[in-house]
Structure 1
């Protein structure tokens, strides 16, 4: 019974609502040519659960996926992500065409380390979230609960930390921790004796992977924010600005519904 209730809640919470995203700024072709293995793709989701995560994290980004294959070898780019319904699975980058996204690239990783991060995620394909734990799902039926800020990070954590369960940010955090790459470590100043003098030094602690959120990869000082449109070559002088008498037409229903993607033509 709990399994069926959980499946129903999972499907309901992850049902896409395109009308909730009124503007799309993505240049998909530039995204495909820019993303690399080991990059984190942040996504502005449009599902009910996405609204709750964005509220609790006070961030645009509600979901994260890891690039495990890029287009440099002529194959389509692919990601590994975790969702409530499908668990940990592999999917084409094309799924997020038409979404607002951001690429976060770990600074300083070499090619071998990028592959280690990607393979960590690939090895965990098939992990599922226990849908019988419906208490974790019920909280997202109320997308804007009156929760104090200090408790919000813990509220988005799913489950009891069972290794057979996986959530998008947690899996990616574990993948980078497998090569000892920092995301947002806890830094402590401790006193240490050196000869006849006392001095302070920094000690870094790895934060538990279950406490990471999608926005942490954006906030981390160790990840570079990569703008595909700029990397592909952007010249503001080439923008086909509308004449003043056309402005009212451009702001009509089609533009309001987010069906136009002006950035697609500027790459």
Structure 2
């Protein structure tokens, strides 16, 4: 066979293989997004156990605060089981950094990551009636708060590759039979994108960008004088962070709106 016929033949095979690969990628992508939408389906019977005055919550939040949510989605149950925590979702409060929508709807004041949508800006009203917790980083300057907000706003529109359906299948197991020490690793195991779609991962990256600790690994230097030894902090992989880590972190303050302006239990009316 002449050389040019061989070249044309290989070229045609390459085009066919490329078309097959494109078709497979499209099929897996569509299937992955359908699975992500299923995981994001909400439970209609969700009822919060704690009462938080929503107006007080809005007045208490500051730019750079992490808002933890007890979610009511299918994936929420898996995250709560795997991390042994009440909190299954996290969002960063950005204040009035984004303009008001032209359609007159509520201004988006949260930046969060949803598996089926990617990184989006949402109104605070979306979580009216949920169990919520405010976690506030201590001693942040205005410039550092602005840097956190800018980092998250810069990620708006980011969408994750949902083609790896095997990574998504693990979230359909409500109680995977894993030892406790392996459960957190379950969230980070896999190709990457479905893992990064967990909300707390991007927020952890934002705080790491300003070198703020969440739950760092700590080691000691090799100084011979024990009294002179220093603690050396090491950044953990952001994919290993879960929403509850902001609650557990010794470097984040838990802010409860009912207590900020002075709570007097004597004024409660009991029936």
* C-alpha distance in 2 between matches for 1:225 and 1:50: 21
User: Per the alignment, do residues 165 and 142 of structure 1 end up closer, same or farther by CA in structure 2, a change over 3 Å counting?
Assistant: closer
Query: Which ranges of 4 or more aligned residues in structure 1 deviate by more than 6 Å?
Result: none
Post-superposition offset of 1:159: 5.1
* C-alpha distance in 1 between matches for 2:202 and 2:185: 16
Does residue 237 of structure 1 match 2:263?
no
Q: Which residue of 2 aligns with 1:42?
A: 68
Which structure features the higher share of strand residues? Answer: 1
Structure 2 unaligned spans of 5+: 1-26, 101-105
Structure 2 residue corresponding to 1:104, chosen from 131, 135, 154? 135
Does residue 139 of structure 1 match 2:170?
yes
Whether the 8 Å CA contact 1:57–1:152 is kept in 2: the answer is yes
TM-score, normalised with respect to structure 1: 0.82
If asked which structure has higher relative contact order (CA below 8 Å, sep 6+), I would say: 1
Match of 1:52, SS state, is helix
123-132 or 20-29, larger mean C-alpha shift = 20-29
* C-alpha distance in 2 between matches for 1:211 and 1:142: 19
Query: Number of matched residues?
Result: 239
1:6-58 Cα offsets, whole Å, 9 max, x none, are 12211111111141335342211111000010000000001110000000000
* C-alpha distance in 1 between matches for 2:255 and 2:221: 35
Post-superposition offset of 1:135: 1.6
Structure 1 residue corresponding to 2:111, chosen from 48, 59, 80? 80
Structure 1 residue corresponding to 2:87, chosen from 39, 46, 61? 61
Whether the 8 Å CA contact 1:158–1:167 is kept in 2: the answer is no
Does residue 215 of structure 1 match 2:241?
no
User: Per the alignment, do residues 30 and 18 of structure 1 end up closer, same or farther by CA in structure 2, a change over 3 Å counting?
Assistant: farther
136-145 or 173-182, larger mean C-alpha shift = 136-145
1:99-146 Cα offsets, whole Å, 9 max, x none, are 000000000101110010111010011111212121222111111111
Structure 1 residue corresponding to 2:253, chosen from 224, 227, 249? 224
* C-alpha distance in 1 between matches for 2:248 and 2:255: 13
* C-alpha distance in 1 between matches for 2:155 and 2:143: 19
User: Per the alignment, do residues 165 and 94 of structure 1 end up closer, same or farther by CA in structure 2, a change over 3 Å counting?
Assistant: same
Does residue 29 of structure 1 match 2:58?
no
Q: Once superposed, what is the RMSD of the aligned Cα atoms?
A: 2.5
* C-alpha distance in 2 between matches for 1:158 and 1:169: 16
Structure 2 residue corresponding to 1:17, chosen from 32, 43, 54? 43
* C-alpha distance in 2 between matches for 1:17 and 1:138: 19
Larger radius of gyration: 2
Q: Which residue of 1 aligns with 2:153?
A: 122
User: Per the alignment, do residues 120 and 79 of structure 1 end up closer, same or farther by CA in structure 2, a change over 3 Å counting?
Assistant: same
